[in-house]
Amino acid sequence: MVAGMRHLGFKTLLEDQWLSPVITTFFSPEDENFDFTTFYNRLKAHNFIIYPGKLTEAESFRLGHIGQLYDEQVEQLLEAVSKVLDEMQVSL
């Protein structure tokens, strides 16, 4: 999931050595069209719920990846994220 999000242009808050196997924080895009609430709601419409809050001063969001996830589910999430960014006209 992290590799796929990075491929889409997202950056992680932490360096690889500090990444968690449970949840990952990504910086929010700096594009003026990015609005977290819209991003959250549109992903929810695609049946993906992400963490709506942030734990840092940095504009960021978190994706959980605990449990038994399959490649197909990760690919569906990445496809939904890409689609939502396109809908929002956000470029990374």
Q: Domain segments of the chain: what residues?
A: 2-88
User: Which pTM was predicted?
Assistant: 0.92
CATH of the domain spanning 2-88: 3.90.1150.10
Instruction: Report residue 51's pLDDT band, with 50, 70 and 90 as the boundaries.
Output: confident
Six-digit token string for 29 = 């895009």
Q: Kindly provide the b/e burial profile for residues 78-88, where b requires at least 16 CB atoms within 10 angstroms of the residue's own CB.
A: bebbeebbeeb
Q: How confident is the model at residue 85 (pLDDT cuts 50, 70, 90)?
A: very high
Banded pLDDT at 53 (limits 50, 70, 90): low
Element (H, E) at 60: strand 60-64
pLDDT over threshold 70, residue 89: yes
